[in-house]
Amino acid sequence: MLGGRDLRETIQKTFDNLYDDLNVKIDKKNSDKIHAIEASSCTRLAYYERRDPLPPDNTSKISILLSNGMRHSLSNLHGEYKAENLTIEADADMIIADEFVVRFEIVPALPQIPHPRHLLYLNACLFAFKKDEGFLIYMTAEGKTVEFSVSKNNRMFEEIIRRARVLSTLLKDNKTPIVEPSDLCLSCKYFERCYAREKGKDDGTSDILAELFGKRKK
């Protein structure tokens, strides 16, 4: 019989392997190939994940397992869009009737309007798979859902290409992107790199940011 410590290590190793299998596959050595998940989110986060990554904590791993585990059971289709020397990658959860691209997002509470980064990502999928319409479906752990229809939008895709080019250039030049403040900063594992302060000294930065975004960092 396995001892308590050995059992925990075995479970953790299995957990880590599942995370590696289900996480979005990004070619981190190729700066001319940018995934839409990178271009639609924080550029600085995407840069650190490629150049100087921190290991994810178990909370982050569970979140990835819940969302990507569901995607793994669906079609999980991979597409690409060529923009001169740059390649934009995107993954669609489903394509219905060879016409509509579907993307699921697992969230703690259903939103009233779709998040901009999710719209940017799904729009990139429409271009990668050459489709005109898509559906963004939010789902909670309790099974509640809300859906939003998305039409192909050239201006939004131009923004994805612009952000992808910026990330590609900064990766090649080894230059860290500027800080992009958002509510995501509060739970980001790179928070201290972006909002650094002396160890043992609380200058109130984290409290100010937390108050700006309506909650406090504990």
Please report the pLDDT score of residue 56 as a whole number.
Answer: 74
Please report the pLDDT score of residue 6 as a whole number.
Answer: 73
Per-chain mean pLDDT for the chain: 83
Domains of the chain by start residue, with CATH: 28-179 (3.90.320.10), 181-218 (no CATH)
Please report the pLDDT score of residue 106 as a whole number.
Answer: 87
Please report the pLDDT score of residue 186 as a whole number.
Answer: 87
Per-residue DSSP letters for the chain?
---HHHHHHHHHHHHHHHHHHHSPP--TT-TTEEEHHHHTS-HHHHHHHHHSPPPPPHHHHHHHHHHHHHHHTS--EEEEEEETTEEEEEEESEEETTTEEEEEEE-SS--SS--HHHHHHHHHHHHHTT-SEEEEEEE-TTS-EEEEEEE--HHHHHHHHHHHHHHHHHHHHT-PPPP--SGGGGG-TTHHHHS---TT---SHHHHHHHHTTS---
Question: Residues of the chain whose pLDDT is less than 70?
Answer: 1-5, 7-8, 10-24, 58-73, 75, 197-218
Please report the pLDDT score of residue 1 as a whole number.
Answer: 46
Please report the pLDDT score of residue 90 as a whole number.
Answer: 95
Please report the pLDDT score of residue 218 as a whole number.
Answer: 41
